[in-house]
Structure 1
C-alpha cells in the first residue's frame, strides 16, 4: 500500500466518519490530513487553537469551548491516568473522571498515562497490567458513553488489540526523545528510529482508518526547530504536532496558525483610562488595517507575563510619560526579546540604554557632548520617512545611538563628528525615535506621521503577508451604516411644517431613505419619569412611529445621558456634573442607565417582533469595563467613541481611530467605536455653521483613498432635525453617499463583523491559507499583486482587486485560499466580483453557479468571467443582466425588508 494512497484514505475516513460535518470534507479540503493540537495550560488561546480540527485540552484548566463560537473544531478532554487509578476498576475510574466531563459537554477524550514509557521503548516491552486495564476501560467507555471518541497515548499493544475502539492513536517523541524528569532532549538512535517507524507503518497498513498522530517536543521559542521536526514527522507519513514539553504553547504541525494579537505598551498615570494613551489613539488604526487585535497595557500598572510568540505577533511601545520603574521595564523588555517576540519602539525606549543593554540590542552607545555651535544634519532617510510630514530635527532631539552590523538604518543624522541612527530595524524589531515617528504641528494642534506606520510595522515586526480580516467591506463593496443618537428628541423644529425635529427626521430622513438605520432614544428625555414628563405622550408616539418603520433598528442612548462614564464609575464617587440632565430624584445607577432603559424601550416603544439591538454610549463615550459588561449582560451590542474626523486639507491618519478598544480580555469588555464622527463635531459643538455636517464627505473620501480604512457611518443626533440648514446638510450627505458603490447595512451588522475579526484564525498549510471566522465576517484582504486561485481554493466565491490589495469574498465561515499573481493567466471560472448583498449557499458545478442573495437597498451582484449567453434566473424566473462597461455582468433583484428579510435564489447556468 503506497504512502500517498494511505494519506488519501485517512483523510476521507477522518472527515466523513471521525469528525463528521464539523470538518471540511477531504475532497473539498484538497487532500489535507486532519490537524490535531495539544494544549495543557490555563487560559487556552481558543481563537488560535480553532484553526485545528481536533484539540486536546486539560479540563482542569479549560472549560468546554462553545460549539457555536468554534463550530469547526472538536475539543477532547485529556484524562490523566495515575498509578493510583490503575489500582481501581475502570468502571469506578470512569464514573469519577469521565462522567462529569460528559455532563459538561465533552464527547472526545484523550487517555494519557501519568508517566509511562517513551513511545519508542514501548515497542520493545511486554504487555503490561496497565495495558489490560486500558483495554477494559476502552470497552467500558464505548459501552456506557455512546458516541464517545477516544484518543490513546502510546501503549502499542492496546492500540493494536483495541483499534476498533479508537478514534486516533498518539505516539510521542519519535524523532526527538525528551526526558521529562531531567528536562532535556535526548539524541535519537537512528537504527532504533528506523525500526520504530517500520512498526508504525505496519500498524498504519493494518488500520488505515485511524489517524496516527506524532506528538513531538522542541524548545518553546525555537519556531524553526519546530518546523523542521514537524516536516520530518510528516515526511515519515505521520500526522505531526510539535509543541513545548509542558504543552502550554501553541505549536504547529502541517498547519501553522498565525498569531493575530499585538501588545501596545503605554505610559500613563496609575489608574488612568487606557484610551488616554498615545498608543491607543495613534496605533489602533494601523494595527486594524494590518489585521491585528490590540491589547493595551500601562507600564506603570505592571506588565503581563503571558506575551509569547505563539500568541502575539509583536509588541509596540509608545511612551508619552515617564516610566516609574525603569529597571523593571528594561528587564521585561529584554525578556520579551529573549522570548523572540518582536518589539517596535516609537518616540523613546523609556529606559537608559547602558552598554550591556546596547550590546543585547546590537546598538552602540555614543559618548555625549557636542562642540559649541554644532548643528544637526540628516544624512539619510528611507523612503518610508516623510509619510505625512518631513522630520524637523533639533540638536536636543539627537539620541546617541548607532546600530550594529545586524541593523538597517531608516534615518541617520550627524551632529559634529557623531553619526546616529534615529530609526532602524534590527533582528529583534526596530525603533523610530522622535521626531522620526510623529511631528506635532502646533498651529494645527495635530500630530502627523513622519514614518509610514504600515511599512514600518510590517518590517520591524516581520509581519507575514497574510489574508487580513476586513471590517470595512463585504463582497468588495464599502459598508455603509447609519446611527442616530437620541439627544434632542424633544427639541422643537425651527422651520414651518413640523412641531418637533424628530418629526422632520421621520419624514425627511427615516422614511425618505429606505436603508438600514439604527435609531436610539434617551429615556430621560422622552419617558414619563424623565425631565420632560409632560411631553412624554407625544414624544413616545413619535418614537413608536419611527421604530415601527421596517428599515429601523432600535438602540438605547441610556436613561440620563451621562457625559463622562469614568466619573460615573463607583470608584470615583458620585458626581452630579457627570449628567447632562438633572432628573429629579435620580441618582446615577449603571443598571438603570443600560438594562432598565432597554427594558423601557422594549416594553413601551418597540413594535412586536423588535427589540433593542444596540447601546449607543453618550457624552464622552468612554465607558468603563463595568459599563461594557452591563451592556453585554443586557444582551445588546455597543457603539460610540473614537475620534475619526480628518478633513481637508490638513487631515492625518492620527485623526482616525481603529474599530474599537479592548478594556478587558473578552468581547464583554470591548468597546466598538463609531466609524466617523457626528455633526456635533463638524458644527463646532453645535454652534455653527449648522450645515457643517457636509464636511463628513471629506472624511469619507480620506478614509477611502488611497486605502479603504473605514466604512461609511452617517452619525447624527435628533437635534439635526431642528434646523433647516442641518437637515439639508444631512440630506446632502445621504444623496452623495447613496450614489457611491456602498453596501447599506445595520449598525449591528458592522459590530458583529468587528467582533468576528477579533477571533478569526488565519493559518498556513502546505502553501494554502486556511481561514476560520465567525457567522458575520466574510471579507478578507490580500496584499497587492495577489488574487485567489479559484480552481484550488475552497469557500471563496469571488474577489475584487483594488489599489490597496485584493478583497476576497468568502461564502461561509471557513475557507482554504490558494494564491496566484494578479497577472497570472486566469482560470476563467465565473465568480462574484462585487455585490451589495449578503451571499450564502454558494455552489459551483463546472461553470454553473448558484447562491442566495439578500440586500437592503437596490441590491445587485456583479459577475466576472460569465458568458452573456448563459441562462440567468432569480427565484426561478429568467432575467437578463446588464453589462457594467468593465466586462462584468450585473444582476439586480428586489431588496429585503427589515433585518430578517428573505433573500433571493440566483442561478447562472453555463455550459462547460
Structure 2
C-alpha cells in the first residue's frame, strides 16, 4: 500500500444521484466530523474553514489559522524524516534504520530511548507554538520496511507508542490522527481522535506514478484491520482515496462508496494539493476571467465590468487573468466554477490556447462573449463541437431559432454584417440566423463545454451610446456554467430588509449655500440631513479644502469647527476624501500628475500624502476623542491602481466608491448596475452601491432637483431580482441649492418608508469584502457557510425552507421574489433545509443589526442595534412571551407574523415559548 502523500487536502462532497445531490452515511453513530486535507502551497483558508478538522502542511503557513471553530492539524511524519524538515540535521545518524526510496525519507529507529523527547522537543513543540492544536501522524508503518524479526518489530511498535504517549503527556489538548499504524493501535488508541488510511477503492502507485484500483483482497484486509478501531475503540475513521482531479464524477462516486462503508471520505490527488471530495464539497465561487492586457491596462477600463454584475448576482467573483501573461497553474477543478472571457477581436496567444484546451478537457466550463479567440476549424472545431463552413460572410436575413433567454432588455435583430456559417453540432442553440441561401449561423449556444454568445448578439448599443442586454445574462451564466442550486452570498439584504447606507464625499463643504445668511454647505447638510433624520452616515472631508494649509485658509477655522460638530454626532462615522482630490488616479505618479488634482500651492501629488496623510490630519485635528477615520472614499474617476488601494489597507481603513450604478427609466438596463467591487492586483476596491447627485444633475449643470430620480434607481434595482442596497450618496454641495437639498430630502423620505436595515458604510464594506471570501459547502443535510461579516445568503424557493432546529446560527428568513433570504447570526453557520415551513420561532425581519444570537428549545435570545428606533417581526411566537430589556412586548399581527416596535435604538430581546 502506498504511504499517504506528503501533502493533503479534504473538501466537501456533492454526490449526484438521479439529478439531485445526496449523501448517505451508513453508520448512524455520533455525527462524523467533516475533514479536509490540503498540503499545497497557499492553502485556501476561507474554504477550508468550513470543515471541522483540516490537515495542512505547516511549512506552507506562517501560523495556524484562527478562523471560526475549525481545528487545524499539522502534518507530521513520525516514522520517516525528510531532508527538508528543520530538525533533520539534528537527527543522530545512528537512529537511521534505512530509506524509503519511493518518497525519499529516512526511516527512524523508534526504539531509541531519547526518541520520544526528540519528537516532543524538536518536532511537536514548534508546531504547538505556531498555534496548531492537532497533529496528523503519518508513516507509522515505515519501520516494516526494515524491521523483519518479531523482536525488532515489537521494539519499533513499543517505541512508537512511547513517542505518541509523550506527545499527549506534554500537550494534553492536542488531538492526534494516526495514518494506519494498525499494529500499534492497541497501545495508542486511547490517545487518538481518529484513524486514517488510504486506498480503500482507488490508490496511487508512487513508483510508477499512476492511479490504481484497490483489489478486493486488499479491501477485505483493510476492513479486517479497521474492525476493532470502529467497533471496540469507537474512533472515527477517515478513508483517503486517490483519483485524478479531472475525474470529478469518479471522485464523487468513490466518496459515496466510502460513505456507504461508514467511513469519512476524502478523495483527491495523491499529493493532496487539490480541492478534493469528502463528507462535504466546497462550491467554487470564483471564475477565471480572461482579458487582453494589451487592450485594457486594468479590468476597470474594459467592458468586462458589464459581466461582473450578473456573476455577482449568482454569488460568483472574478479572478482576472491577462491572456498575454502567465496562465494559472495547478488543477483548476474544485477551485473555480469556470472560465469567463470577453474576446472582442482577440485571438488568444498560443500558451493561452494550450492552457484553455487543457482546462476544457478537464471539464471546467468555459463561457465566452463577443468572440471565441480561437480558430473555429481543425482541432478547435472538433473540441468545441462547432462547424465553420469557411465561406465568405454574408448578411443575415432572419432569425430561425430564438430561446426565451432573449428579448431580455431589447430584441435581437439580424445584422447585415458579421454573418458566419458557424453552427453548433452539439449542445443547444439559443439564437440561430440564416442568410438568403439558408446557411445557418448559431450566434449563441449552451454547449457541453459551457457556452458562447458572439458579437453583436448579446447586447445592443443605443444612439446615446448606452447598452441593452439582448439575452438574460444571469440565466445564461446559470446554465452555461452548470451552477447547482444552493445558497448565494448576498450584500443587498440583512435580517430580511434591504440594506440602507448613506455616505458623503467632502466636495463643496466650503461652498456657500444659496440661502439666507449664506451658510456653509457643510452646516446646512449637518442640520437638514444628518441631524434631521438620524440615519447612520459616513462623512468625509477633503483636507485641501478645509485645512488651514489648503485652498481656503480664511474659511478654515469656521469649516473645521463644523466638521468637528459633524464628526461628533453619534450617527456619523468618519471618512477621508483625500488631501487634494485626485481626478484621475491612473495619472498619479506620472510626469503630468499636477494636472489631475486640486491646485494646492506648493504641493506635488503623492499617494501617501493623499491617503495616510489626510487620515492622520482628520484623526488628530477633527475627530473627537474615541473616534477615528474608518473609510477612505475614492475621488474623481474612482479608478485607483492596486498600489493606492493597498495604501488604504495599510492605513487600517476600508475603501469605497466607483462603479457607476445609474440605472433609471431613461437607461433601463443592468449594464448600468455596477458589481460589488473589483479584485485586482492582489487588492480589492469596493464600489459604492449607487451614484451621487452629480450624475443625476448632469455634472452639476442642472436640473438641480435631478437627484430625486435616484428613487427610480432604487426601485429598478429591487425588482424580482434585488440587485443593490439603497445608497444615499452625496456631495456636500448638494446642500448649497434649495432644489438639490429638497431632492435629497425627498430621496431620504422615500427610503424611510421602505423596510430597511440602516448601517454605516464601513459595515456595508465589511460585508462586501466578505462577499469575495465567503465559502459555502454542501453535504447531505444542507450547507456549511463560512461568511465572515456577511449576514445573508439567499436560496431559490424550490430548495425548501430553513430547518431551524437542525441549523446552526440561522436566525430566520424572509421572502422576496422567488427566493428566500436567510439571516446568518454569526461568521460561520450551518443551513439545513426541509420541505415545509418551520414551526419553531424565528426572526422574520429586523431594522437593526443582529448581535449575541443564542437559541435553545423554546427560547431565543438576541440583541438589536441601530441609530434609529427599532422594529422587528417574529414568526411562530403568537403563544410566546417576547421581552425587550425585560419588558414584555405586545405585538401587532401581520399575517402570520408578530410585529414589535420599540422607541429605543438598541435592545436585548428574549423569547420564551413555555
Cα drift, residue 221 of structure 1: 1.5
Q: Match for residue 784 of structure 1?
A: 797
Q: From 301, 307, 311, give the equivalent of 1:276.
A: 301
Q: Match for residue 912 of structure 2?
A: 909
- Output aligned runs, 1:212-361, within 5 Å: 212-269=237-294, 272-279=297-304, 281-306=305-330, 308-323=332-347, 325-361=348-384
- Pair 1:893-2:902 in alignment: yes
| Contact preservation (8 Å) 1:847, 1:909 | yes
| Contact preservation (8 Å) 1:152, 1:159 | no
- Output aligned runs, 1:792-807, within 5 Å: 792-807=806-821
- Pair 1:426-2:437 in alignment: no
Cα drift, residue 696 of structure 1: 0.7
- SS class of match (1:333): helix
Measure, in 1, the Cα distance between the counterparts of 2:563 and 2:29: 54
Distance 1:176 1:30, change over 3 A: closer
Aligned length: 855
Q: From 492, 513, 526, give the equivalent of 1:493.
A: 513
- Pair 1:203-2:200 in alignment: no
Q: Deviations over 1:384-416 (max 9, x none)?
A: 012111112224222322112x41111111122
| Contact preservation (8 Å) 1:519, 1:553 | yes
Q: From 589, 594, 600, give the equivalent of 2:617.
A: 600
Cα drift, residue 380 of structure 1: 0.7
Q: Match for residue 882 of structure 1?
A: 892
Cα drift, residue 486 of structure 1: 0.6
Distance 1:34 1:599, change over 3 A: same
Q: Match for residue 473 of structure 1?
A: 493
| Contact preservation (8 Å) 1:263, 1:314 | yes
Cα drift, residue 732 of structure 1: 1.0
Quick check: 826-835 or 592-601, which moved more? 826-835
Cα drift, residue 852 of structure 1: 2.0
Q: Match for residue 575 of structure 1?
A: 593
Q: Match for residue 4 of structure 1?
A: none
Measure, in 1, the Cα distance between the counterparts of 2:642 and 2:446: 36
- Pair 1:710-2:724 in alignment: yes
Q: Match for residue 526 of structure 1?
A: 546
Q: Match for residue 22 of structure 1?
A: none
Cα drift, residue 230 of structure 1: 1.3
Measure, in 2, the Cα distance between the counterparts of 1:192 and 1:92: 35
Question: Normalising by structure 2, what TM-score?
Answer: 0.90
- Pair 1:873-2:883 in alignment: yes
- Pair 1:729-2:743 in alignment: yes
Distance 1:103 1:31, change over 3 A: closer
Cα drift, residue 117 of structure 1: 8.8
| Contact preservation (8 Å) 2:392, 2:420 | no
- Pair 1:652-2:673 in alignment: no
| Contact preservation (8 Å) 1:498, 1:504 | no
Distance 1:165 1:847, change over 3 A: closer
- SS class of match (2:60): coil
Q: Deviations over 1:861-906 (max 9, x none)?
A: 1122332x5333211112211123x23211112443xxxxxx4222
Q: From 601, 615, 630, give the equivalent of 2:632.
A: 615
Distance 1:224 1:117, change over 3 A: farther
Measure, in 1, the Cα distance between the counterparts of 2:640 and 2:154: 61
Distance 1:360 1:322, change over 3 A: closer
Quick check: 146-155 or 727-736, which moved more? 146-155
Distance 1:839 1:30, change over 3 A: farther
Q: Deviations over 1:171-218 (max 9, x none)?
A: 11122232112112333231332232022022222211x322111111
> Mind listing any 5+ residue stretches in structure 1 that lack a counterpart?
1-25, 897-902
Q: Match for residue 94 of structure 2?
A: none
Q: Match for residue 190 of structure 2?
A: 164
Q: Deviations over 1:262-292 (max 9, x none)?
A: 121122426712211211x201111111011
Cα drift, residue 108 of structure 1: 1.7
- Pair 1:502-2:522 in alignment: yes
Q: What root-mean-square deviation, in Å, do the aligned CA atoms of Structure 1 and Structure 2 show?
A: 2.4
| Contact preservation (8 Å) 2:247, 2:362 | no
- Pair 1:390-2:411 in alignment: yes
- SS class of match (2:153): coil
Measure, in 1, the Cα distance between the counterparts of 2:268 and 2:64: 21
Distance 1:115 1:308, change over 3 A: farther
Cα drift, residue 591 of structure 1: 1.4
Q: Match for residue 136 of structure 1?
A: 162
| Contact preservation (8 Å) 2:396, 2:417 | no
> Mind listing any 5+ residue stretches in structure 2 that lack a counterpart?
1-24, 82-104
- Pair 1:71-2:74 in alignment: no
Distance 1:219 1:494, change over 3 A: same
Q: Match for residue 19 of structure 1?
A: none
| Contact preservation (8 Å) 1:345, 1:431 | yes
Q: Deviations over 1:445-503 (max 9, x none)?
A: 11111111111101101001110111001011000000100111111112114421111
| Contact preservation (8 Å) 1:566, 1:624 | yes
Measure, in 1, the Cα distance between the counterparts of 2:674 and 2:556: 37
Cα drift, residue 115 of structure 1: 8.9
| Contact preservation (8 Å) 2:773, 2:787 | yes
| Contact preservation (8 Å) 1:55, 1:74 | yes
- SS class of match (1:278): coil
Measure, in 1, the Cα distance between the counterparts of 2:59 and 2:553: 55
Measure, in 2, the Cα distance between the counterparts of 1:125 and 1:728: 93
- SS class of match (2:126): helix
Measure, in 2, the Cα distance between the counterparts of 1:555 and 1:321: 42
- SS class of match (2:222): helix
Quick check: 793-802 or 362-371, which moved more? 362-371
- Output aligned runs, 1:480-879, within 5 Å: 480-568=500-588, 570=589, 572-573=590-591, 575-579=593-597, 581-665=598-682, 669-774=683-788, 776-785=789-798, 786-821=800-835, 824=836, 826-867=837-878, 869-879=879-889
Distance 1:870 1:34, change over 3 A: closer
| Contact preservation (8 Å) 1:85, 1:93 | no
| Contact preservation (8 Å) 1:160, 1:203 | no
Q: Match for residue 16 of structure 2?
A: none
| Contact preservation (8 Å) 1:708, 1:804 | no
Q: Match for residue 6 of structure 1?
A: none
Cα drift, residue 92 of structure 1: 3.1
| Contact preservation (8 Å) 1:267, 1:300 | yes
- Pair 1:184-2:207 in alignment: no
Q: From 422, 429, 454, give the equivalent of 1:401.
A: 422
- Pair 1:86-2:111 in alignment: no
Cα drift, residue 94 of structure 1: 4.4
| Contact preservation (8 Å) 1:86, 1:133 | no
| Contact preservation (8 Å) 1:270, 1:301 | no
Distance 1:381 1:861, change over 3 A: same
| Contact preservation (8 Å) 2:323, 2:349 | no
- SS class of match (1:162): helix
Distance 1:592 1:360, change over 3 A: same
- Output aligned runs, 1:120-135, within 5 Å: 127=153, 130-135=156-161
Cα drift, residue 844 of structure 1: 4.2
| Contact preservation (8 Å) 2:107, 2:142 | no
